């Protein structure tokens, strides 16, 4: 993945050699949510435009642009969701849980699509 728009806490996690014990300090839910969605949307193929309700379209299309293996690939997206989820749980009631859940669901849809495409090969 390119680093354009990548959340700063992911860059910091990478600087810490992706340590399993790393935890970002004082994540602000609103800023984390905004940064994640901008970054995630920027990684999507053109056909996954916004559906008009703030969600990305889900339909048949080429997911290969998102086939990003390696330590700087989709692992970084999963790490971002993990850190965001920890912050949402810690700050329960601050309103970040729904957007986080939507993001997890969208990333899961992509990963499932990538796995299905790999099995079909």
Give the span between the Cα atoms of 81 and 104, in whole angstroms.
Answer: 7
Domain span at 87: 8-120
Which SS3 state, helix, strand or coil, does residue 61 take? coil
Please report whether residue 109 resides in a domain.
Answer: yes
Please report whether residue 86 resides in a domain.
Answer: yes
In 1-121, where does DSSP find H-type helix?
8-15, 29-43, 74-90, 97-120
Please report whether residue 3 resides in a domain.
Answer: no
Instruction: Please list the residues that pair with 56 across neighbouring strands.
Output: 50
Percent of the chain with pLDDT over 90: 63
Whether 21 contacts 87, CB under 8 Å = no
* Full-model pTM: 0.90
| 82-117 pLDDT, tens digit each | 999 999 988 877 667 889 999 999 999 999 999 988
């Amino acid at each position: 993945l390119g680093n354009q728009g990548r959340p700063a806490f992911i860059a910091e996690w990478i600087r810490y050699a992706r340590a399993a014990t790393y935890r970002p300090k004082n994540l602000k839910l609103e800023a984390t949510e905004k940064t994640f969605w901008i970054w995630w949307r920027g990684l999507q193929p053109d056909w996954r435009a916004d559906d008009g309700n703030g969600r990305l379209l889900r339909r048949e299309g080429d997911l290969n642009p998102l086939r990003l293996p390696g330590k700087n690939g989709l692992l970084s997206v999963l790490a971002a969701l993990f850190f965001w989820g920890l912050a949402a749980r810690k700050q329960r009631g601050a309103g970040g849980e729904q957007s986080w859940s939507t993001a997890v669901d969208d990333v899961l849809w992509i990963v499932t699509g990538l796995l299905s495409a790999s099995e079909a090969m």
